[in-house]
Structure 1
Amino acid sequence: MIEVYTDGASRGNPGASGAGIYIKAQNKTFEYSIPLGEMSNHEAEFYAVLKALEICLQEFPGEILSFRSDSETVVRVIDNDFTKNKTFLPFLEKIRELTAKFPYFFIKWIPEKENSHADQLARKAI
C-alpha cells in the first residue's frame, strides 16, 4: 500500500499557489513541490490530489493508494463522490477517472499537524 500525503497552499486567496506531495512507498519516501500558478486555496488542494494521482499512476501503477489530506472540503467531496460546487466538479470528475485505474483508493482527513511535511512542500512550491 502506498501512503500519500497531499497539501495545497496559496499566498492570497486567490494567489500564487503550490502543491506538496509526500509519498511513503516500498520503504522509501518521495517528495514533490509543484508550483501551480494563481488559484484559490481549495483549488490548490484539489490539484495536489490530482498531481499525486498522476505521479502514482506513473510510478506505482496497480498499487493500493491511501491518501491523506488536511482539507475537509477535498476529503468530503471525494469521499461522498458529490459536489454542488461548479468549480470543484471538474476536479472530482478527473479524480474519479484517475482513481478508477487503481484497485483501491482511500482518502482520509488528518489534522494539519499530521500533514506538516506536505504543507512545507506546498509552501516551498509557491
Structure 2
Amino acid sequence: MIEVYTDAASKGNPGKSGIGIVIKAGKADVEYSFPIGTYSNHEAEFHAVIKALELCKVQYPKEILSFRTDSKIVVDTVEKNYTKNNNFLPLLERIQELSGHFPLFFIKWIPEKQNQRADRLAKEGIHK
C-alpha cells in the first residue's frame, strides 16, 4: 500500500497557489512541490490530490492508495461523491476518473499537525 499526503497553499484567496505531495512507498519517501497558478485554497487542495493521483498512475499503477489530507472539504466531497459547487465538480470528476485506475483508493482527513511536510512543500510551490 502506498501512503500519499497532499496539501495546498494559496497566497490570497484566490491567489497564487502551490501544492505539496509526499509519497511513502516502502522505505522510500518522495517529496514533490509544484506551482499551479491562481486558485482558491479549496480548489488548490483538489488539484493536489489530482496531481498525486497522476504521479501514482505512472509510478505505482497497480498499488492500493491511501491518501491523507487536512482538507475536510476534499475528503467529504470525494467520500460522498457529490458537490453542489460548480467549481469543484470537474475536479471531483477528475479524481473519480484517476482513482478508478487503482485496485483500491482511500482518502482520509488528518489534522494539519500530521501533514506538516506536505504543507511545507505546498508553501514552497507558491514561490517556484
1:27, distance to aligned residue in structure 2 (A): 1.1
Residue 26 of structure 1 and its aligned partner are, at CA, apart by: 2.1
Q: Secondary structure at the match of 1:51?
A: helix
Q: Structure 1, unaligned stretches of length 5 or more?
A: none
For residues 12 and 49 of structure 1, what CA distance do their matches in structure 2 show? 20
The aligned counterpart of 1:67 is 67
Who is 1:113 aligned against? Answer: 113
Taking structure 2 as the reference length, the TM-score comes to 0.97
Which residue number in structure 2 is paired with residue 14 of structure 1?
Answer: 14
Aligned residue pair count: 126
SS of the residue 2:114 aligns to: helix
Question: After the TM superposition, which segments of 4 or more aligned residues of structure 1 sit over 3 Å from their partners?
Answer: none
CA distance in 1 between counterparts of 2:39 and 2:84 reads 19
Output the amino acid matched with 2:111.
P
Gaps of 5+ in 2: none
RMSD: 0.5
* TM-fit CA distance, 1:111: 0.3
Question: What TM-score, normalized to structure 1?
Answer: 0.99
What is the rounded CA distance, in whole Å, between the counterparts of 1:33 and 1:56 in structure 2? 15
Q: Who is 1:123 aligned against?
A: 123
The answer on 1:31 being equivalent to 2:31 is yes
3-state DSSP of counterpart to 1:73: helix
